[in-house]
Every structure is written in C-alpha cells, then in structure tokens.
C-alpha cells in the first residue's frame, strides 16, 4: 500500500521534473532576446546588455532553471515583459476569474450530466432515453466556443439577460461576477455534461443489474429510493474518476472560452503572452497548467488504487 503510493508519487515528481525541463528548455532555445523585445528596435546594445543583467538573463542556464523552480515555492516568478508586473501577482489576479469559472463549469457539468444520465438509465430503451442519448451525442459534437457564441446571440443580444462578454471584477458584487461567468461556464460544461451523461447511464445500468438492487426492492424500497440510495452511489465511482480525468479538457477549454467571452483569466493571459512572446509569463503559466493536470491525474490513480487494490500494479487508470 505505502509502496504503491510512494511509487506513484515518485512517478509524479519525475514527470513534473521532466516537464519543467522541457518547458524551460523550449523557452530557452526560442528565437528573440527578451531584453531586445522589451526595448524595441531603437535600443543600443549597451542598454540591452544592461537590461539583460537586470533581468538576470546573463546567469548560467542551470542557475536560472533552479531559480525558476524555486520561484514556485517562494512566489517569485520574475517580472512579466509585457505587463511589467510580477508574474506571480498577475497569475493570482487572473486566477480569480479562471478558478470560479472552472468550478462553476464542473458544477454545471456534473449536475446536468449525472441527472440526465440517471434519468436515461431509469427509463432505459424508452423514448426519453433515446432522446437524451441523442442529445448527448449532439452535445459531444458541438464545439463549446460555438455554443458560447449561440448563447451570446440568444441570451445576451436577444434577451439581454446576460452580458455578451467581459468581467466587471468581484468588487462590483458577487451577483455581477456570477452573471458574467454564467454563460461561459455553461459553454465550457456542455461537452463534459454530455460525456458524464453517457457514462452515468452505463454505470447506472450496470449497477441496476446487481443483486443488491433486487434485495433493496424486496425489502420494500421504491424504485426512486433504490436508485438514489443504492444504485447512484455505486455508479458514482467511474463517474467521479471521469470527472477528474476530464479536468485537463476543462482547464484547456478555458483558453478558448475566455477568448470567446473576453474574460480576463489565465487562459486569455496565456494566449496573449504567447502572442506577445512574453516568455517569463508563458513558461510559468504552462508549468502551472501542466502541473495541475499531472497532479490531478496522479490523485485519481492513487485514490483508485486505494479503492481497488488490483489496480496498484498495472499502468493505472484509463490507460
């Protein structure tokens, strides 16, 4: 048991280290001297050299790599070339948009997906079931950014219930903030909800065939009670796993959705910094995104190993 957790932890740390090396290495070999980019075309070689020294760009590569890694623990990730503010502060500020957005989206995805999936399973092979599963198939095919645009068309431009984009900031009130995040979160949630609905249906159908369901009905529980107390609970293991594994799609989904709705979040920041060759910001952001995904996947593997000892030896979940 301990050995399994330790092994998985070592794998995680190794993968994170390799990822950090790759990301750092790639930003190193990229063309363009950041100092020269910052100062523009008219800069003299002397001023460029002075700025390089100021930014710490003339230190040996290994020193800069270790300083960068250390920065994740001390909170000093350097200064953004484009925004001229500390990267850590920039990320913390943008996280105030992206974290609630991702949270709201997973909330929508799980509540919609699990409810509809359970409904479809409880009416298996009925018209309701076929309709719901056809809907899930369509939900999987619709690009989330198009769904976002359609909702803007209907609910922002047509009905005027929500803003078409932008974010007022949390200081203008919780309600205004949530209103600005509602449509983006719904757009982000659509494909996830479709996946979860399909999976929940399968998992519930499987659980419905178990003996304990017959026992529950025999002792006098209604179909609804059995579904809620026994079936759903058993069906939730694969569903929760899938939610965690989909975290990666949710996180990268924010990059496009934040662009659709002009939200000042991490996703938009990463896109803008990549476009502006703001490499200091890019490498830390990419590391954070990749790190989050790797940590979540590792946690899923570990909890699964805790639940089902057979999985402690193979290649892990979902492979």
- Please list, in sequence order, all residues whose beta carbon lies within 8 angstroms of the beta carbon of residue 74, skipping any fewer than 6 positions away: none
Task: Tally Cβ neighbours within 10 Å of residue 242.
Answer: 20
- Measured distance CA(256)–CA(143) in Å, rounded: 10
Which x/- pattern, by CB under 8 A, does the window 232-261 give for other proteins? Answer: ----------------xx-xxx-xx--xx-
Which x/- pattern, by CB under 8 A, does the window 92-131 give for other proteins? Answer: ----------------------------------------
Rule CB under 8 A: choose which of 39, 206, 236, 303 binds other proteins. 206
Q: What number of residues does the chain have?
A: 319
Dump the DSSP string for 197-210: HHHHHHHHHHHHTS
Which x/- pattern, by CB under 8 A, does the window 270-299 give for other proteins? Answer: xx--xx------x---x--xx--xx--x--
Three-state SS for 79? strand
Site membership for other proteins, residue 179 (CB under 8 A): no
- Measured distance CA(7)–CA(256) in Å, rounded: 36
Q: Which of 238, 239, 220 is nearest to 229 (CA)?
A: 220
Rule CB under 8 A: choose which of 142, 221, 237, 299 binds other proteins. 142
Which residues between 148 and 167 bind other proteins (CB under 8 A)? 149-150, 152-153, 157, 164
Number of helices and strands in the chain (H, E): 14, 0
Residues that bind other proteins (CB under 8 A): 15, 18-19, 26, 30, 137-138, 140-143, 145-146, 149-150, 152-153, 157, 164, 202, 205-206, 248-249, 251-253, 255-256, 259-260, 270-271, 274-275, 282, 286, 289-290, 293-294, 297, 315, 319
């Amino acid at each position: 048991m301990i050995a399994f957790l330790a092994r998985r932890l070592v794998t995680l740390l190794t993968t994170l280290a390799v990822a950090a090396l790759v990301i750092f290495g790639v930003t190193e070999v990229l063309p363009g001297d950041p100092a020269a980019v910052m100062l523009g075309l008219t800069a003299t070689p002397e001023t460029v050299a002075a700025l390089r020294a100021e930014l710490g760009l003339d230190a040996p590569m290994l020193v800069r790599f270790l300083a960068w890694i250390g920065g994740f623990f001390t909170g000093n990730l350097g200064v953004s070339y484009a925004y001229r503010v500390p990267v850590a502060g920039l990320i913390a500020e943008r996280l105030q948009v992206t974290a609630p957005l991702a949270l709201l989206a997973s909330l929508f995805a799980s509540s919609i997906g699990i409810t509809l999936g359970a409904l479809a399973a409880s009416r298996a092979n009925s018209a309701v079931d076929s309709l719901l599963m056809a809907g899930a198939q369509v939900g999987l095919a619709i690009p989330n950014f198009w769904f976002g645009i359609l909702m803007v068309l209907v609910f922002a431009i047509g009905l005027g219930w929500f803003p078409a984009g932008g974010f007022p900031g949390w200081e203008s009130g919780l309600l205004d903030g949530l209103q600005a995040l509602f449509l983006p979160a719904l757009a982000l949630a659509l494909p996830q909800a479709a996946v979860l609905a399909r999976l929940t249906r399968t998992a519930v159908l499987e659980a419905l065939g178990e003996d304990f369901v017959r026992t529950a009905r025999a002792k006098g529980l209604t179909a609804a009670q059995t579904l809620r107390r026994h079936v759903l609970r058993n069906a939730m293991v694969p569903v929760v796993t899938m939610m965690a594994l989909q975290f990666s799609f949710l996180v990268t989904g924010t990059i496009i959705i934040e662009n659709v709705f002009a939200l000042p979040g991490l996703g938009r920041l990463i896109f803008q910094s990549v476009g502006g060759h703001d490499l200091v910001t890019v490498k830390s952001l990419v590391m954070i995104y990749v790190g989050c995904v790797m940590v979540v996947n590792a946690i899923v593997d570990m909890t699964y190993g805790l639940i089902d000892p057979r999985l402690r030896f193979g290649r892990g979940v979902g492979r």
